[in-house]
A and B are shown apart, each in its own frame.
Chain A
Amino acid sequence: MKQVTLVMGVVGADVHAVGNKILNFVFTEAGFKVVNLGVMVTQKEFVEAAIEAAADAIIVSSLYGHGEIDCKGLRDKCDEAGLKNIKLYAGGNLVIGKVSFEEVEARYKEMGFDRVYPPGTDPKTAIEHIKQDFGM
C-alpha cells in the first residue's frame, strides 16, 4: 500500500518549535512520510511543498492565536495549484479569545479544513483519523 505523505509546519509568524518536533516524530513513527517545514511557514511554502511531494495531506499547527488569519485562503491556493483532493488538518490555539471549540471547528471547516483539533489533543487521535481518511 502507498505510504501517506504529510506536509506539516507551524503557520504564520509563529515560532513554537517544540510541538512541531513532537508531531514530526510521532507521525514518522506512525509510518507516514513526513515533510516537515518547521516554524514560520507561509501558505505558499505549504502549497509548493505539497506539490513537489505529491502530498496527501497538509497539517497546519498554530499556537499563537493568529491561525485564523494565517489559514484563510489556504484551501483556495490548493485548488488553484491543482491539489484538488488534498486533506487539510489544523490544530492548536487556533483563534483569539474565548470561543468554544465547536465554534472554532465550524469556522475552520468553513475555510475548507477537513479536521480540526483543540489544544491538548493526543497525537494518537490525529494518527487514527489520518489512517481512517486514507483507508489504512
Chain B
Amino acid sequence: MKVLLCDVGSTYTKLTAVDIKASKIIGIAKSYTTIEEDVTIGYNKALKLLEEKIAGNYGIFNIKFSKKLCASSAAGGLKIVSSGLVPDLTAKASRLAAASAGGKIIKTYSYELTESDARAIEASKPDIILLSGGIDGGNKDVLLHNATLVSKISGNFHTIIAGNKSAKDDISNIFEALNKESPIDDMESHRFDRQFKSPKNKIAKNIVFTENVMPEFGVLNIEPVKEVIRNIFIKNIIAAKGLNNIQKIMDMEIIPTPLAVLEAFEILGQSIGELMAYDLGGATTDVYSIADGNPKGEDCFMNGLPEPYSKRTVEGDLGMRYSMEALLEQINVPNFIKEYSLDEADYYEWVNICKEYKGNLPIARFEKYHPIDEAIAAEAVKISTNRHVGVKKKVMTLAGEAFLQEGKDLTGVKYLIGSGGAIVNSKNPKKILQNAIYTPADLELLKPLKPKILLDKQNCICAMGLLSRIDSKLAVKLMKENFKEV
C-alpha cells in the first residue's frame, strides 16, 4: 500500500510518497503553489515529478496511491485574531487555543476592543475571530462589548465565542438583531452553529458558541475551541481558500499544516520523550513543546494559568523575511554584530536585500550573507524560546527558600528538533538551535539544559503528521530514521 502526503504551503506544494508495506519514504517532490489560478496545477506538476522519481529509483510506473492526504497553509494560512479579558488569563488561553488548532495568530487583544482595534482587525482580513473573557458567571461586560464591536466588522470571517457562558444570550441577540431579515439555510441543523445574514453589510455573519476557554479560574479548556476551529476550517475555509479542487482528490479532509506538524511532534514525543521543536519560516517562528512542564521539587509553587502538554506558540513578529523588520527591531544591532562577529556593512546590505525581495529570495545566490542570515535565525530561536518557556522566581518564606513558577518548566526536555528551510538548509543548524539552550545569562528562564539536537533534514514533519492519521507507528519510525542528530 502506497500513500501520498501533500503539503500545500504558501510557496511550495510538496508531495511525499510513503510505501507502508516497505515502511519507507519512496519519494519527495515539490513545485510552486498555484493557489491564485488553480491549486491542482502545482499539485499535478509536483505529482509528475514525484512519479518520475519513483519510476527512476524503483522502476514503479503508473504508481497508484491507495490514500491521499493533504494539509495546507496556503493563502495566508488559517488567520485568527484572538481576544480575552486579562492578558495573562483568558487572553492567553484564547491564544493557546488558536495556536494549538493550527492557526496563524495575527494578534491577541485583551480588555475592551476599541474602534481602532476593530478597524485593524477588519484590515487584517482574518478567517476567524475568537472572543473569550470572564470565567463562567464572571465578567461578561467585556465579552459583550467586544462581540458587539465585532458584529459591526465587515468581512468574510467566522466569530467564535468561547468566554463567559452568561454572555451567550445577549450576544446571540445582538447577532440576531443585526440579521433580522433572514437567517441563511442551516440555522436549525447546528444547535450552536448559526449563520446569519446581515442586511447592513450584506455579508453572512457566522457565529459559533462553544465552551469557555477558562470556565473556572485557573482551568484551561481549549479542546472544544480546537474542535470548533477544525470544523470551520473543513466546512468553510477550505473552499474560501481555493482548496476545493484539491480536496476532491484527497481521501480525508484537509487540515491546517501546523496542526499536522503538532500531531507529528505529539506522537514522536510519546515515543522518544519530551521535546521542543522549531519551525522558522518567512513570516513566523513556530515553537512546539511536548512536555508536562510541571514544577520540579516540592518547594516550587505554580503561579498563573496551567499550560497544555502539547503547546504551540506562533510568533508573528519573528520571521526571516516578511516579518524580518519586526524581528530586527527587537535586537540590539551593535551587540548582535559583535556577538556573532559579523561585518557591519554586510549586515546592512543583507537587511536591504531582504526588504526588497521579501519572500522570493534566491538565498543560494547570496552565499556571502549566509552567516548573517544564520545569526538572525539564531536570534529568532532565542527570542521565541524565551517567550515559550516558563520562569521560576526565588522567594524567601519563613519556612526557607521557595520558588514560584509561571509557565512550563522545560529544563528536562531531551530533544530539540529543527525544521523549516531557515534551519534545515543552513550550514550551521546546530549553532542556530543552540540558542534555545539555557545559559547563565538566562537567569530565571526554564529553558532546556542538556537536550540533543535533531534535524528534520528532509522537511518531512508535516507529511509525518498526515501519515500518523493512517499509521502512527510507521510515522514515528520514519521520523526516528529521518531526524538526524547534529
Contact = CB atoms under 8 A, between A and B. Distances in A.
Contact of A37 (B139, B217, B402): B217
Given A13-B402, A15-B402, A45-B303, A52 B397 contact: no
B397 A53 contact: no
Contacts of A13: 395-397, 402
Interface residues on B, range: 20 to 34
B22 interface: no
B397 A14 contact: yes
B137 A52 contact: no
B90 interface: yes
B135 A53 contact: yes
A56 to B, nearest CB: 11
Interface string B381-403: 00000000000000111110010
Interface string B6-34: 00000000000000000000000000000
Contacts of B214: 52
A3 B398 contact: no
B284 to A, nearest CB: 28
Contacts of B88: 48
A127 interface: no
Interface residues of A, number: 23
A64 B141 CA distance: 38
Given A13-B402, A40-B404, A45-B303, A51 B85 contact: yes
Interface of A: 3, 5, 7, 13-15, 33, 35, 37-40, 42, 45, 48-49, 51-55, 64-65
B430 to A, nearest CB: 39
Given A35-B135, A35-B217, A45-B304, A52 B89 contact: yes
B102 interface: no
A65 B398 CA distance: 10
B398 to A, nearest CB: 5
Contacts of B402: 13, 15, 40
A123 B303 CA distance: 27
Given A40-B404, A52-B85, A52-B134, A64 B398 contact: yes
Given A35-B217, A42-B303, A45-B304, A52 B399 contact: no
B217 A54 contact: no
Contacts of B398: 14, 64-65
B86 A3 contact: no
Contact of A5 (B89, B133, B138, B141): B138
B301 interface: yes
A116 to B, nearest CB: 22
B329 to A, nearest CB: 28
Nearest to B112: A82
Contacts, number: 66
Nearest to B132: A52
B470 to A, nearest CB: 42
Contact of B139 (A45, A51, A65): A51
B303 A52 contact: no
Nearest to B134: A52
A68 to B, nearest CB: 15
A59 B133 CA distance: 23
Contact of B395 (A3, A40, A54): A40
A32 to B, nearest CB: 12
Contacts of A42: 303
A42 B396 CA distance: 14
Nearest to B397: A13
B443 to A, nearest CB: 19
A54 B397 contact: no
A48 B138 CA distance: 12
B95 to A, nearest CB: 15
Nearest to A82: B111
Interface string B298-326: 00010110000000000000000000000
Please give me the 8 A-B residue pairs with the lowest Cβ-Cβ distance, nearest first. Answer: A54-B139, A53-B138, A13-B397, A35-B217, A13-B395, A48-B86, A54-B138, A64-B398
B205 interface: no
Contacts of B165: none
Contacts of B304: 45
B140 interface: yes
A54 to B, nearest CB: 4
B131 to A, nearest CB: 14
Given A15-B301, A45-B303, A52-B90, 9 more contacts: A3-B137, A15-B397, A15-B399, A33-B137, A35-B216, A37-B218, A42-B303, A53-B135, A53-B139
